[in-house]
Amino acid sequence: MAGATIAVASDHAGFDLKEILKRDLQEAGLEVLDLGTHSTASVDYPDFGRAMAETIAAGKVEKGVIVCGTGIGISIAANRNPKVRAALVHDVTSARLTREHNDANVIAFGQRMIGTEVAREALKVFLKTPFEGGRHDNRVAKLAKG
């Protein structure tokens, strides 16, 4: 995955974790497209979920990372686009399974809900885990139909 570009986005409540994960991605040799926010000043999470969805749908990146306070709002916003399969994860197992079974292309975290080290490990697993395909292909195709 080295050399690939990963998009990151957050609202103010997810800014600190986004910055940590962004640094990890860069240190792993990945290019990072930061869609904002760029501070802890209050902003609206739907704007950043939508920015991620538009970036994925336009084919600018294949995968993304989104963060808000709980991870719920920003993932709902991103998932409104049928090209996005954003999964809110809370541990390494959910990060692995959402790639294997759902072919998720965006991982979502809640900064107030997950420990930093758990999020860092979950992101590593998310990025290295392939989609299994097979029995999951038809299910994932149905997701794109809305």
- The angle formed by the CA atoms of residues 72, 32 and 46, to the nearest 5 degrees, is 30
**Cβ-contact 72, 88 below 8 angstroms:** yes
- CA neighbor of 109 nearest in space, from 18, 1, 4: 18
Using alpha carbons, list the distances in angstroms from residue 64 to 22, 97, 135. 11, 17, 25
The catalytic residues are 68, 101
